[in-house]
Structure 1
Amino acid sequence: MKYTVSLKLNKDFKRLYYRGKFKASPVLVTYILKCRGKQCRMGITVSKKIGKAVVRNRVRRIIKAAYREVEPQFHLAGYDVVFVARSKAVEKKSTDISREMKKQLGALLAKK
């Protein structure tokens, strides 16, 4: 996550949801959109439906760890990326989520 900045503003998340390309699975939904910046901006969304705060933070940490594994393989400079955790993400480990992330990012970046 050397060149990755966090997405924080609600308008940035909404822009990705409405204008970005997405790929979904029972574990994770990935949204991606080309932007003007030179850095990759990444955001993670975990709904309250997933569980209490401890569980949601654990899922967030697992997604960050998976992203750190996947990031060097894809050149995401100039892209905004949002990962939305689904209920099955609670049961998964970072290796499972990174495998799913690779599939989704590969499919999304191939569609350019």
Structure 2
Amino acid sequence: MTRARKMRLTDSRDFERVYREGSVYRGRLLSVHAYPNGLENPRLGLAVSKRVGSAVIRNKLRRRIREIFFWRRSRIDGKGYDLVVSARPAAASASFGELEDEFDRALEKLVNGTGEGRGDV
């Protein structure tokens, strides 16, 4: 498995499309938006605002979320989804395991079929 650039969502138009047209999971630690991208591989976009904490904390959260995405990628390979993950302020004090659990719940509802449709899941 590779952590190639093609796995990242970087264009602001792609972010806007996922926010506007995709489904959303809102949890205590993370908000995850998902939208089918028509590609073979999933892509990840991150939004971690300054409300979450200092630059050190925000970067640590980004690294953790990317790692979780990398290890969960096999669940969504071939389904072609763009995911935008927004960290909430509570994520700053969450453990890695708590972030994993929240991400797993979001994937289950958004990508694996238990939370179809647009809007809150």
TM-score (norm 1): 0.88
Distance apart, 1:98 and its partner CA: 1.1
Q: Percent identity?
A: 28
Q: What root-mean-square deviation, in Å, do the aligned CA atoms of Structure 1 and Structure 2 show?
A: 1.8
3-state SS in 2 of match to 1:49: helix
- Residue 60 of structure 2 is matched in structure 1 by 58
Contact persistence 2:41–2:77 (CA under 8 A) = no
Within the candidate set 17, 42, 45, 1:43 is matched to 45
Unaligned runs of 5+ in 2: none
Unaligned runs of 5+ in 1: none
Give the Cα–Cα distance (whole angstroms) in 2 for the partners of residues 93 and 69 of structure 1: 17
Distance apart, 1:91 and its partner CA: 0.8
Give the Cα–Cα distance (whole angstroms) in 2 for the partners of residues 76 and 92 of structure 1: 30
Structure 2 counterpart of 1:39, which letter?
A: N
Contact persistence 2:32–2:86 (CA under 8 A) = yes
In structure 2, relative to structure 1, the CA distance for the partners of 1:23 and 1:103 (3 Å cut) is same
TM-score (norm 2): 0.82
Structure 2 counterpart of 1:59, which letter?
A: L
Give the Cα–Cα distance (whole angstroms) in 2 for the partners of residues 36 and 64 of structure 1: 21
Contact persistence 1:44–1:84 (CA under 8 A) = yes
Structure 1 counterpart of 2:30, which letter?
A: L
